Amino acid sequence: MSTPITAAVPARTTTPHRAPSELQSIWLVAEREIGSKLRSKAFVISTAILIVAALASVLWGGFTAANTTASGIPVAVTAQTQGEVSGLDGLEVTVVDSDDAARALVADGTADAALVSGASDSAFDFTVVVKDSVPSTLLQMLSDTPPVDRLEPGSSAADVLRYFIALAFGIVFLIAATTFGGTIAQSVVEEKQTRVVEILISAIPVRALLAGKVLGNTILAMAQIVLLAAVAVVGLAVTGQAGVLDALGAPITWFAIFFLFGFVLLAALFAAAAAMVSRQEDIGATTTPITMLIMAPYFLVIFFNDNPVVLTIMSYVPFSAPVGMPLRLYLGDAQWWEPVLSLLVLLASCVLAIGVAARIYRNSLLRMGARVKLGEALRG
């Protein structure tokens, strides 16, 4: 009896799964952070409201200035200064006999400004006299800015504009930093609380997980900043505020650059602080000091936007440089090399903060239960 012959079945070979590289891991985590945020209706709605509010404020300021110009600025001049305003539209010119008569019209409110004879030691042939506030539109119409003599102390239009620009820098920095910093903190604690982090770090390095979170939220924050800057530029251009637009071009650019590195620093600190706790309820215990650092520039520019000493200090402190240095550039108080030096200080601080934050994050990420003390997190 013959034995049946069976054909040999070749063994099935399997290709081992190739683990992603560290750069791929970082980008995968960043994509996850970006996608989860963009799918959030609350985030999309809040961003839309912020953009609409920014556009409305720019348009309102432009239309207010346009209406003021359209109605005509009442200006008193003498025979000697009449030629300075000849050919200028948007002015209601009243010619008087003397400088004293022109000053009297300003004092009683008949004219918003008067052009009188200039001082002998001045480079100008005339001086602008105002009661308390300086009509910025009138100064923009003149080829050069002449000396201004106030009859009564008060806030000029330039002072008001400086205040609102300082406030805008402070609000944008505060909202963006707290929004996306808080997102990072909540994401870290949620992954710890649900034990998802144990699965994640079994597939990718801990430093890739941290870098991905920082990268993803930095991209979102910078996209929001660029979008707000674009809205401001378009709004100023549409409403004809060319003078403000020219003055704000460089400060807005520097604000974006400083915010980029400043947020990376803050994002790393937020992630490290959140890794020290295991419950959402405990996030505030470790992130409050960072939040206070973010709020400091906002309050400082509100109360000290006209104090050059405070602004100079702010422009070199890493946490406030994104607000202080652009504001000084707008005011013309900073030399050309100062933003470069401030940026180098910020970069050095960023590298140091990332190193410390990575150590805290790595040593605290898998520790559950009670809050990890800072000393223990640093020692490991």
User: Contact at 8 Å (CB) between 173 and 295?
Assistant: no
Residue 100, phi then psi, degrees to nearest 5: -65, -40
Cα–Cα distance between 371 and 283 in angstroms, integer?
10
Q: Strand 148-150's sheet: what is its strand order? A: 91-95, 73-77, 113-117, 126-130, 148-150
Q: Where are the alpha helices (DSSP H) in the chain?
A: 22-38, 41-71, 99-107, 136-141, 157-193, 196-203, 206-238, 242-275, 283-304, 308-314, 321-331, 338-364, 374-379
What's residue 151's pLDDT?
Answer: 61
Cα–Cα distance between 84 and 77 in angstroms, integer?
9
Residue 319, phi then psi, degrees to nearest 5: -75, -20
Angle at which helix 338-364 crosses helix 321-331, to 10 degrees, equals: 170
Rg, Å, the chain Cα set: 30
3-state secondary structure of 86: coil
User: Contact at 8 Å (CB) between 169 and 147?
Assistant: no
3-state secondary structure of 281: helix
CA 49 to chain centre: 17
What's this model's pTM, rounded to 2 decimal places? 0.74
Residue 308, phi then psi, degrees to nearest 5: -65, -30
Pairing of strands 113-117, 126-130: antiparallel
Q: Which amino acid is at 136?
A: S
What's residue 1's pLDDT?
Answer: 45
Spell out the residues 6+ positions from residue 324 whose beta carbon is closer than 8 angstroms to its own. Answer: 297, 300, 301, 311, 312, 313, 314, 315, 316, 317
How confident is the model over 6-19, as pLDDT tens digits?
A: 545 455 555 555 66
User: Contact at 8 Å (CB) between 192 and 365?
Assistant: yes
Residues of the chain with pLDDT under 70: 1-19, 61-62, 64-72, 87, 89, 119-123, 133-159, 242-243
Place of tokens 């959402």: 280
What's residue 338's pLDDT?
Answer: 95
Place of tokens 């002015």: 91
Cα–Cα distance between 343 and 254 in angstroms, integer?
9
How confident is the model over 307-326, as pLDDT tens digits?
A: 999 999 999 999 999 999 99
Cα–Cα distance between 375 and 363 in angstroms, integer?
11
The conformation of residue 88, written as its DSSP 8-state character, comes to -
Cα–Cα distance between 105 and 111 in angstroms, integer?
5
Q: Which tokens go with 57? A: 């404020």
3-state secondary structure of 374: helix
DSSP structure string for 134-159? --HHHHHHSSS---EEESS----HHH
* Residue count (the chain): 380
Spell out the residues 6+ positions from residue 369 whose beta carbon is closer than 8 angstroms to its own. Answer: 278
